[in-house]
Amino acid sequence: MNGPGANSVLLRASGVTKRFPGVVANDDITLEVRRARVHCLLGENGAGKSTLADLFYGVHEPDEGVIELRGEPIHMVSPRDAIAAGIGMVRQHFELVTPMSVLENVVIGTRGEAKVDLRTARDRLGELCDLYGVEVDLDTPVGDLAVGQQQWVEILKALYLGCEVLILDEPTAVLTPEGIERLFTTLRRMASEGLTIVLITHKLHEVMEISDDVTVLRRGRVVRTSLTSEVTMADLTRMMVGRDVDLDIDVTEASRGDLVLDVSGLDVATESGRGSLKQVSLRVHEREILGIAGVSGNGQDALFDVLVGMQPATAGTIVVDGQDMAELSPAARLDLGVASVPADRIHQGLMMDFRISENLILGRQRSDRFGRRGWLNQNDIARFADDSFANYDIAAPSTTHVTRVLSGGNLQKIVMARELAGQPRLLVVHQPTRGLDIGATEYVRRRLVEERDRGAAILLISEDLDELLNLSSRIAVIFDGRIVGEVDRRDATIDRIGMWMAGVSGAPGEAPP
Amino acid sequence: MSTDMSTTPGSSSGSLLRRGGWRLEKRLEVKPWHEVVTLVGAFIVGLALCSILIAASDKSVIDSYRALFDGALGSRRAIYETLVQATPLIFTGLAAAFAFRARVWNIGGEGQFFAGAMGAYFVSDLWSAHLPRGVMVPVLFIGAAAAGALWASIAGVLKARYDTNEIITTVMLNFIILLILSYLLGDLWRSPDTFYFQTVTLPESTHLPLMIDGSRLHWGFGIALAMAVVVYVVLRRTALGYEVRGVGINRTAGSYKGISVPRVTVLVMAISGALAGLAGAAELAGVHHRLQLDISNNFGFVGIIIALIGRLHPAGVVVSAIAFGALVNGAVTMQIQTGIPAALVDVIQGLSLIFVLTGAVAVRYRLQRTSSDE
């Protein structure tokens, strides 16, 4: 077990308040993190988790209140002070020098020595890796590593600088399920070696799986700190959103209608060969959601891109309502009633420096609905924006505000409002709830079901199995660019889909009845 | 072992800054007045730094700047002359601003200026004998715009089709057009009654009417202001302007939603070239009345600076073009009265640009008082 001082309070925030223009990000927060424990900060997007972590790491200073380490108040004006005090943090956006090796990246943060002794550093890093079971090749340039691997470099950096408290801000967002498993194993080991872990997340099952203590934040305030063993997921959900949320949306099976999307023998070649598609065939009908399950990187991006027209097919047909659109431009496909919600809403879906109202008409700026002969009708645009705000419950200061200021959930609502406005025949959706909080997730899923009931054919590409099992009429599994199995939702089990996702064949796709 | 940072000596330089200190924080939103303050501030800092240069050459700073001001804005006449100087800069500034809005880096304003002047001369050569001024002047401007657009489109098409770097192609095209013009001025277009590389003086029917009698201020200035309004309206009120801004903000998202980035690129280049071409027509028909190699005072290149200082906004372009017109105009008076070289104005321009660009980044932050000890 742990030595003396175990479970004593290591890090404490008392009465901490932090204001930004127009928002109180942290409001009178008091919380204690105990030594050698894994402590989760749980909350929806915008609940104040990242701000609190930034206060612990010296990125911001609290406007009121004190942060204490080992019972003594500490003042930090920059992360340098936090590191000197023994607090390390892995932020959501990594701070790495990509052409340099892992070893060099770790050493680069050390200060005070004129000359860096790489050999000693290598030995110490090796010890750290052995101690915690971290597997990273120290000589690989960081730019060649996958994002999940780069995160390990950030963790190593913090450890190398001698942190006692390690703060991780949404570390699982960039990881595959296996990667998450590995991270959690390592974090447990670190805690048992005496390190204190603060983990920021909005995923309930992660809290249940990894943490000893959990603090729920809502709207910048602490709802409660509990022992994880003493709360249930339902308790946490209630605390997070302030009401009960039924994530299992009632999906009464609608009877499917005519065939809308008929993809057959589709090949897509990518430059690296990774993430390409081979002989993909899919069919989606009216009033039907076809889920595409798969581990990230198995061709989902290519599938989305080839369907919306951003990537050419090297073979095969994409027929929508009887018309092959494989050769058509993205604009022509929009005209055919193909709407899409991309996985990366900030880069693929929105113009962050546009006004919100402008984003709401993206793709239809030349339609008669918003103008005549190339002129935009400001009144029509404003009216549409007002309607969208009302119908989609978009929370923003005004429709003419710059899009950049919005939270993830509201950004996705803008994309949904825009894409669904044209009553699409086919809706191609990729990771629609990634990074969203519970409220927004529930909202997006409900909308998809409503859209299905209206009569749309929906192709839902997702890495979230719960989501797929909840929403899909049928689930197909993509592995290494091929559809390796397809199953009716009623017959779908996590075991069976999991096998397909892992590439274990043997039970090849059964055609739906 | 205490690690309380405030009592550990020499713990870090940061603690020295803490008491009563300030720190930079990112602003959530940049308001228009922040930008205006930055612009004016940059200009003033540029002038202030130049006063060191003036002082270093043992001249009176106050007298020098008074001469500069008198020459630029001190009299009715000075103001008209300032606006004459500003006219081509408004056109070339708009040309650069429009292209830069789409993140199309048209550095070829200078070449497109000459293409425009040549286009204007060409149509004048063809028709000026037959058409009255009321028709000839518009035709002249149309010819100039078409020539500028055509010349810039070369770079636009290369970029759209082959992803050729437009910075390189537009700069190269600047050289090419000047060589073509040299050739024409030495041969086909050369005035028979002169030894110089210049054309004949154009007939009266091509001369732009004056806005103010007795001054040199011609209607090119009015047309420039009108084009600023047109550019603003196109950017804000048309689907094309929407697409231009969209391509500049995020061309990936634009392509996903059906905007043809190559098509927009070619159009933006053409429109930008047309605007720069209009500057050539205005100078030819409003000031010089004959085509020669030195009708541009680097207008194409200065237009880039004007656009950046004007934050790529048509109104900003007009204001900064007039400010620079005033500087250029005032510098002549300053040189005559105090002996300070007019080239000082280039230094002021350069310094102001640097401060504006720095300010553009700085304006996203604000100073925040750090909390003091309890």
Same domain as B219, residue B152? yes
Q: Which of B258, B293, B328 is the last residue of a domain?
A: B293
CB-nearest to A374 from B21, B240, B260 is B240
CA dist A294 and A316 (Å) reads: 22
* CA angle, B123 then B128 then B131, to 5°: 110
pLDDT under 70 in chain A at which residues? 1-7, 21-23, 45-46, 109, 111-115, 241-254, 272-274, 504-513
**Contacts of residue A78 in chain B, CB cutoff 8 Å?**
14
Is the minimum CB–CB distance between A77 and chain B shorter than 8 Å? yes
Could you tell me which residues come within 8 angstroms of residue A240 by beta carbon, excluding any fewer than 6 positions away?
A42, A43, A44, A47, A202, A216, A218, A223, A437, A438
**Contacts of residue A93 in chain B, CB cutoff 8 Å?**
none
Residue B85 lies inside a defined structural domain of this protein: no
Is the minimum CB–CB distance between A107 and chain B shorter than 8 Å? no
The tokens for A105 are: 């990246």
What pLDDT is stored for residue B171 in this prediction? 96
Using alpha carbons, select from B14, B17, B369, B7 the residue that is nearest to residue A78: B14
A137: how many CB neighbours lie within 10 A of its CB? 11
**Contacts of residue B3 in chain A, CB cutoff 8 Å?**
69-70, 72, 74, 84-86
The answer to whether the beta carbons of residues A483 and A510 sit under 8 Å apart is no
Residue B195 lies inside a defined structural domain of this protein: yes
Could you tell me which residues come within 8 angstroms of residue A237 by beta carbon, excluding any fewer than 6 positions away?
A204, A244, A245, A247, A438
Same domain as B136, residue B47? no
Same domain as B251, residue B127? yes
Is the minimum CB–CB distance between A143 and chain B shorter than 8 Å? no
**Contacts of residue B259 in chain A, CB cutoff 8 Å?**
331, 363
CA dist B202 and B123 (Å) reads: 11
Q: Which of B293, B312, B329 is the last residue of a domain?
A: B293
Domain span at residue B49 reads 31-54+341-374
Could you tell me which residues come within 8 angstroms of residue A195 by beta carbon, excluding any fewer than 6 positions away?
A36, A163, A164, A165, A166
> Can you say whether the dihedral through the CA atoms of B269, B271, B277, B282 is positive or negative?
negative
Q: Which of B1, B2, B5 to mutate to test the interface with A (most CBs of A within 10 A)?
A: B5
Assign B13 a pLDDT band (cuts: 50, 70, 90): very low
Mapped onto helix, strand or coil, the DSSP state of residue A17 is strand
DSSP state of A285: E
Same domain as B247, residue B163? yes
Q: Which residue of B has its CA nearest to A381?
A: B237
The answer to whether the beta carbons of residues A220 and A417 sit under 8 Å apart is no
Using alpha carbons, select from A478, A453, A508, A495 the residue that is nearest to residue A289: A453
**Contacts of residue A63 in chain B, CB cutoff 8 Å?**
371
| A7 burial via Cβ count (<10 Å: 0-12, 13-18, 19+) | exposed
Rounded to the nearest angstrom, the minimum Cα separation between A348 and chain B is: 4
Write out A326-395 in H/E/C secondary structure. Answer: CCCCHHHHHHCCEEEECCCHHHHHCCCCCEHHHHCCCCCCCCHHHEECCEECHHHHHHHHHHHHHHHCCC
Using alpha carbons, select from B232, B226, B210 the residue that is nearest to residue B137: B210
What DSSP string runs through B127-193? HTTTS-HHHHHHHHHHHHHHHHHHHHHHHHHHHHHH---HHHHHHHHHHHHHHHHHHHHHTTT--TT
**Contacts of residue A376 in chain B, CB cutoff 8 Å?**
237-239, 242
Residue bearing the bigger pLDDT, B42 or A274: B42
Q: Where are the alpha helices (DSSP H) in A46-96?
A: 49-56, 79-85
Number of structural domains found in chain B:
2
Same domain as B266, residue B176? yes
Residue bearing the bigger pLDDT, A52 or B35: A52
Q: State the distance between the two ends of chain B, measured CA to CA, in whole angstroms.
A: 22
Residue B366 lies inside a defined structural domain of this protein: yes
Mapped onto helix, strand or coil, the DSSP state of residue A145 is coil
Is the minimum CB–CB distance between A374 and chain B shorter than 8 Å? yes
The answer to whether the beta carbons of residues B181 and B173 sit under 8 Å apart is no
Same domain as B363, residue B274? no
Are A347 and B253 in contact (CB < 8 Å)?
yes
Using alpha carbons, select from A306, A321, A172, A308 the residue that is nearest to residue A260: A321
Same domain as B287, residue B347? no
Residue B367 lies inside a defined structural domain of this protein: yes
Q: Where are the alpha helices (DSSP H) in chain B?
A: 14-18, 32-56, 61-73, 76-101, 109-127, 133-162, 166-186, 220-237, 239-249, 251-256, 261-283, 299-309, 314-338, 344-362
CA dist A135 and A153 (Å) reads: 10
Same domain as B345, residue B236? no
DSSP state of B7: T
> Can you say whether the dihedral through the CA atoms of A133, A135, A136, A139 is positive or negative?
positive
Strands B22-26 and B365-369: antiparallel
> Can you say whether the dihedral through the CA atoms of A186, A189, A195, A198 is positive or negative?
positive
**Contacts of residue A19 in chain B, CB cutoff 8 Å?**
none
Rounded to the nearest angstrom, the minimum Cα separation between A285 and chain B is: 24
Could you tell me which residues come within 8 angstroms of residue B114 by beta carbon, excluding any fewer than 6 positions away?
B177, B178, B181, B280, B296
The answer to whether the beta carbons of residues B136 and B206 sit under 8 Å apart is yes
**pLDDT above 90 coverage of chain A, percent:** 47
Residue B153 lies inside a defined structural domain of this protein: yes
Q: Where are the alpha helices (DSSP H) in A9-161?
A: 49-56, 79-85, 102-108, 118-132, 147-160
**pLDDT above 70 coverage of chain B, percent:** 90
Mapped onto helix, strand or coil, the DSSP state of residue A485 is strand
CA dist A349 and A341 (Å) reads: 7
Same domain as B136, residue B230? yes
What pLDDT is stored for residue A129 in this prediction? 87
Residue B363 lies inside a defined structural domain of this protein: yes
**pLDDT above 90 coverage of chain B, percent:** 55
Is the minimum CB–CB distance between A161 and chain B shorter than 8 Å? no
Would you say residue B106 has pLDDT above 60? Answer: yes
What pLDDT is stored for residue A474 in this prediction? 92
Rounded to the nearest angstrom, the minimum Cα separation between B137 and chain A is: 28
Mapped onto helix, strand or coil, the DSSP state of residue B86 is helix
Residue B322 lies inside a defined structural domain of this protein: no
ipTM of the shown complex: 0.81
Would you say residue B151 has pLDDT above 90? Answer: yes
Mapped onto helix, strand or coil, the DSSP state of residue A123 is helix
CA dist A256 and A286 (Å) reads: 6
**Contacts of residue B12 in chain A, CB cutoff 8 Å?**
80-81, 84
Rounded to the nearest angstrom, the minimum Cα separation between B9 and chain A is: 13
Same domain as B98, residue B35? no
CA dist B72 and B57 (Å) reads: 22
User: In what helix (H) or strand (E) does residue A234 lie, and over which residues does it extend?
Assistant: helix A233-241
CB-nearest to B2 from A61, A72, A330 is A72
Is the minimum CB–CB distance between A72 and chain B shorter than 8 Å? yes
Same domain as B261, residue B145? yes
User: Which structural domains are found in chain A, ordered by start?
Assistant: 9-241 (3.40.50.300), 259-337+422-501 (3.40.50.300)
CA dist A430 and A445 (Å) reads: 12
Same domain as B148, residue B102? yes
CB-nearest to A405 from B29, B239, B242 is B29
CA dist B214 and B216 (Å) reads: 7
What pLDDT is stored for residue B19 in this prediction? 45
Could you tell me which residues come within 8 angstroms of residue B237 by beta carbon, excluding any fewer than 6 positions away?
A375, A376, A378
Backbone angles phi, psi at A124, to 5 degrees: -65, -40
Question: How far lies B325's CA from each of A218, B116, B352, B356, in Å?
Answer: 57, 21, 14, 18
What pLDDT is stored for residue B11 in this prediction? 36
Backbone angles phi, psi at A396, to 5 degrees: -155, 155
Q: Which residue of A has its CA nearest to B253?
A: A348
b/e burial code for range A222-242 (CB count within 10 A of at least 16 → b):
bbeebebeebeeeebbbbbbe
Q: Which of A75, A350, A372 to mutate to test the interface with B (most CBs of B within 10 A)?
A: A75
Using alpha carbons, select from A471, A447, A451 the residue that is nearest to residue A460: A471
Q: Which of B255, B271, B293 is the last residue of a domain?
A: B293
**Contacts of residue B230 in chain A, CB cutoff 8 Å?**
none
Residue B260 lies inside a defined structural domain of this protein: yes
CA dist A71 and B192 (Å) reads: 94
Is the minimum CB–CB distance between A381 and chain B shorter than 8 Å? no
Are A351 and B250 in contact (CB < 8 Å)?
yes
User: In what helix (H) or strand (E) does residue A316 lie, and over which residues does it extend?
Assistant: strand A315-320
* CA angle, B85 then B91 then B94, to 5°: 130
CB-nearest to A77 from B17, B239, B242 is B17
CA dist A333 and A321 (Å) reads: 12
What would the pLDDT profile of B172-217 be if each residue is shown by its tens digit?
999 999 999 999 998 889 888 888 888 888 888 889 999 988 889 9
Is the minimum CB–CB distance between A21 and chain B shorter than 8 Å? yes
Q: What are the CB-based long-range contacts (under 8 Å, 24+) for A94-101?
A: A94/A150, A94/A151, A94/A153, A94/A154, A95/A154, A96/A142, A96/A150, A96/A153, A96/A154, A97/A142, A98/A141, A98/A142, A98/A143, A99/A141, A99/A142, A99/A143, A100/A141, A100/A142, A101/A138, A101/A139, A101/A140, A101/A141, A101/A142
Are A72 and B258 in contact (CB < 8 Å)?
no
Residue bearing the bigger pLDDT, B368 or A459: A459
Distance from chain centroid for Cα B15: 45
Touching B: A residues 83-102, CB under 8 Å: 84-86
What would the pLDDT profile of A159-194 be if each residue is shown by its tens digit?
888 899 999 998 887 777 778 888 999 999 999 989
**Contacts of residue A405 in chain B, CB cutoff 8 Å?**
28-29
